[in-house]
Amino acid sequence: MDKLNRSKRTVKSTITKLDTFVEESRNHTPRKLEIKLKRVQKMNKKIDELKDQYYENKDISDSELAEIEANLQEVEDRLEDLEVRIRDILNSLIAKSSVSSVPS
C-alpha cells in the first residue's frame, strides 16, 4: 500500500505543478498548453489505474477505501478544473491568433 500512496502523492504533486504553471506563467503558447493537456490526460489514466490497484488490494479496510475514494475524487475534480482552465486559455490564444491574422 505504501507504493500506491507514493504514486498518489506523485500524481498530486504533478497536478500542483500543472496548476502552478497555469496560474503563474504569462507566456502560454498553444504548443505548451497542448503538452500540458496531454499530461492532464495521462494523470487521468494514472488515477484510474490507482483506483483499480486500491480496489484489488485486499489489505485495505472498507473505511480506508472510502477515504481513499474520496481523496481520489478530490484529485479528479482538481484535474478536471485544471483541464477546463487550460482549454479556456488555449481557446483564447487561438481566437486572438485568428483575429490578429485577419487583414485590415
The pTM for the full model equals 0.82
CA 49, 63, 73, 22: dihedral to nearest 10 degrees? Answer: -90
Position 103 scores a pLDDT of: 59
Strands (DSSP E) contained in the chain are none
pLDDT of amino acid 100: 65
Give the pLDDT score at 94: 86
pLDDT at 82: 96
What pLDDT was estimated at residue 101? 60
Q: Which three cell numbers stand for residue 15?
A: 497536478
Q: What is the pLDDT of residues 57-99, one digit of tens each?
A: 888 899 999 999 999 999 999 999 999 999 999 999 888 877 7
List, for residues 2-44, the tens digit of each pLDDT value: 888 899 999 999 999 999 999 987 888 999 999 999 999 999 9
Please tell me the distance from the alpha carbon of residue 87 to that of residue 10, in angstroms, as a whole number.
23
